[in-house]
A = this chain, B = another copy of it.
Amino acid sequence: MENIFQQQLADSRRRLIVDAAIAVIAEQGFQRTTVKQIAQMAGVADGTIYNYFKNKDAILLAIVEQFTEAEVRELDFNEAQKVPYAAFVQMYIKHRMDEIEANFAALKVVIAETIVNEALRTEVNRKIYTPAFEIAERYFQHLIAQGEMQPGDPVLRARLFAALPIGICVLRMLGDEHVVENWERYSAEIAALLTTFGATDDKTT
């Protein structure tokens, strides 16, 4: 009984530290952030961090982990196959852009670090990147087979599809004020563009 309670307490404490870490690291990057800063933001002592994480790198991995869970929860292209392409894209993009906004700090941390951290890149590729694209590729293959999408390389198309929201995301990370202030509009425009993207022009008929 007490074990469970203790476990929950520990989990919430761990979560507290990870969230604090995301907040600080998003501002200044992982390397520039000290364990002391994370501890202060989390309201615990420096040493306490090490009761929950083996070392500083483990915090970064935990951020990715936490991010991955949220990410994976979203990846339900199976559901997609029951809905028409256009409708699904609309819904999906809206959903993802909302998610991105909600977890923007974490995404910032993950992207910035993944670019320059070989070990993390491997990890992220294995856990998020590759599986996500595999699902997308299969979905596009399905669409092409169904004649809902023009013939073409689904691998390449999945990347081009992802590139647009990712690009806008990065512009936001780079500090583009127009993107920050008009996130909803960008979300809608991206959805619109990706709806027509590769779609067969059955609509005109």
Contact = CB atoms under 8 A, between A and B. Distances in A.
Interface of A: 25-32, 108, 111-118, 121-122, 124-125, 129, 133, 155-156, 159-160, 162-168, 170-171, 173-176, 178-179, 182, 185-186, 189-190, 193, 197
A112 B176 CA distance: 15
A200 to B, nearest CB: 15
Contact of A164 (B27, B30, B163): B163
A163 B174 contact: no
A158 to B, nearest CB: 9
The A interface, classified by DSSP as helix, strand, loop or mixed, is helix
B28 A170 contact: no
A153 B115 CA distance: 32
A121 B29 contact: no
Contacts of A133: 176
A182 B152 CA distance: 14
A159 to B, nearest CB: 6
Given A159-B168, A168-B163, A129 B173 contact: no
Nearest to A174: B114
A152 to B, nearest CB: 9
Contacts of A160: 164, 168, 186, 189-190, 193
Contact of A129 (B156, B176, B193): B176
A162 B164 CA distance: 9
A190 B156 CA distance: 11
Given A155-B178, A159-B186, A164-B160, A111 B115 contact: yes
